[in-house]
Amino acid sequence: MTLHAGIVGLPNVGKSTLFNAITQAGAEAANYPFCTIDPNVGMVEVPDLRLQKLADMVHPKKIVPATVEFVDIAGLVKGASKGEGLGNKFLSHIREVDAIVHVVRCFEDPNVVHVEGSIDPKRDIETIDLELILADMESIERRSERTNKLLKMGDKKAGAEAELLNRLKDTFNQGKGARALTFSDEEREILKGFSLLTLKPIVYVANVREDGLATAEDNPYVQQVRAIAAAEGAEVVVVCAQIEAEIAELEAEEKEVFLQDLGLEESGLDQLIRVSFHLLGLMTFFTSGPMEVKAWTIYQGTKAPQAAGVIHTDFERGFIRAEVVSYEDFVENDGLNGARDKGLVRLEGKDYIMRNGDIVHFRFNV
């Protein structure tokens, strides 16, 4: 599976610049609203030092990293849920992603216009949130009509759905999104059919000036974003989109030196991917052999047969068992044979819950 993240925000906050930087896809970035009409899509590799270490030991013909798909969704404006700007089209693009990356402008620059005429992260976030809430309210109203018809027909299952819909309506009317609520397992199953925008996990990206990374904690705009994120249990990544663009053009060794000069341990992209994985409860397992070493993305708590199904549906359908060794044991014992000699390679069955960094060979029969 591939993580799909949609980059959203008001016009001219740095969305397309950030997208260009992290995907090197050449999406158009210009100083006027609605530059991005159709969403640009770009794939970026998930940085994982473990993958290269495995490749150095196994010497495969090919190395295949996990990937994240970033979608640069055009700038929303006030009234988007009612079709203002190019709103409805943009909102439909957001429904298709796993997580929202909300870019918020946290810098002053008279040469870059702001659609509202001033810099105010709190206002900007509330503008986007309101449009997503209004869009969800419209969806819920349509769903309620269908549910009420089922209730009149005596459908017992419709009762739980109607109760949930009423909870959502009350929350939306208070100006809060679905993320503000907690749900039972039964409600979460019902919610899968709703495609709510305000239920999607969100990462706020505070975009600062080139000289603003070192002083980000003193930036009042960044502090506004952090306060909002803390209140709703969201994550914040502080980046400078312009610097990310420079980093994207560097080779690995040059990148490391560049980051050290800036006093940074990792790039904004690396932070964003790490935070997004954590937010969505994702992790990585590996397959390793002479043909290829490959990283696979799964949800935490995934059992072995379902992990096998990520590789191929036949693997899940005909699953017999999984031959598993941890990344640490693999490396510390010079590979699979050394780990096997130490009794560290395990045969696991259908109930085995995958662990981050597992190196697996699936046995199956179809």
Q: Assess whether 100 and 199 both reside in one domain.
A: yes
**What is the percent of the chain with per-residue pLDDT over 70, rounded to a whole number?**
91
- Residues 76/87, Cβ–Cβ less than 8 Å: yes
Q: Assess whether 273 and 307 both reside in one domain.
A: no
Instruction: Answer yes or no: is 284 within a domain.
Output: no
pLDDT value at residue 39: 64
Q: Binding site residues, as ranges?
A: 12-17
- Least confidently predicted of 160-169, 265-274, 278-287, 311-320: 265-274
Instruction: Answer yes or no: is 253 within a domain.
Output: yes
Which of residues 89 and 64 earns the better pLDDT score? 64
Among residues 248, 279, 310, which one ends one of the domains? Answer: 279
Count Cβ atoms within 10 A of the Cβ of residue 334 and give its class: 0-12 exposed, 13-18 middle, 19 or more buried: exposed
pTM over 0.75: yes
Q: Assess whether 275 and 306 both reside in one domain.
A: no
Q: Assess whether 100 and 188 both reside in one domain.
A: yes
Angle at which helix 220-232 crosses helix 121-152, to 10 degrees, equals 20
- Residues 242/17, Cβ–Cβ less than 8 Å: yes
SS3 sequence, 35-78? CCCCCEEEEEECCCHHHHHHHHHHCCCEEECCEEEEEECCCCCC
Q: What is the CATH number of the domain that holds 309?
A: 3.10.20.30
Residues 6+ apart with CB under 8 A from 220: none
Helix (H) or strand (E) holding 4: strand 3-8
Instruction: Answer yes or no: is 293 within a domain.
Output: no
Could you count the other beta carbons within 10 Å of the beta carbon of residue 287? 18
pLDDT in tens, 110-130: 888 777 788 999 999 998 898
- Residue that has been written with the tokens 């995907």 in this structure: 23
Residues 6+ apart with CB under 8 A from 28: 16, 35, 36, 40
Q: Assess whether 334 and 238 both reside in one domain.
A: no
Q: Assess whether 261 and 114 both reside in one domain.
A: yes
Q: Assess whether 230 and 338 both reside in one domain.
A: no
Mean pLDDT (the chain, rounded): 87
Q: Assess whether 121 and 23 both reside in one domain.
A: yes
Q: Assess whether 19 and 168 both reside in one domain.
A: yes
Q: Assess whether 96 and 171 both reside in one domain.
A: yes
- Residues 137/172, Cβ–Cβ less than 8 Å: yes
Count structural domains, the chain. 2
Q: Which amino acid is at 303?
A: K
pLDDT value at residue 211: 85
Q: Assess whether 266 and 305 both reside in one domain.
A: no
pLDDT in tens, 147-169: 988 888 888 788 899 999 999 99
Q: Assess whether 133 and 274 both reside in one domain.
A: yes
- Rounded to 5 degrees, what are φ and ψ at 225? -65, -45
Q: What is the CATH number of the domain that holds 183?
A: 3.40.50.300
- How far apart CA 325 and CA 334 sit, in angstroms, is 12
Rounded to an integer, what is the distance from CA 151 to the centroid of its chain? 37
Q: Binding site residues for ATP, as ranges?
A: 12-17
- How far apart CA 6 and CA 14 sit, in angstroms, is 14
- pLDDT tier for residue 79 given thresholds of 50, 70 and 90: low
Domain carrying residue 334: 301-364
Reference 240, options 220, 260, 214, 261; nearest CA is: 214
pLDDT in tens, 172-194: 999 999 998 999 999 999 998 88
Helix (H) or strand (E) holding 165: helix 157-173
pLDDT value at residue 363: 96
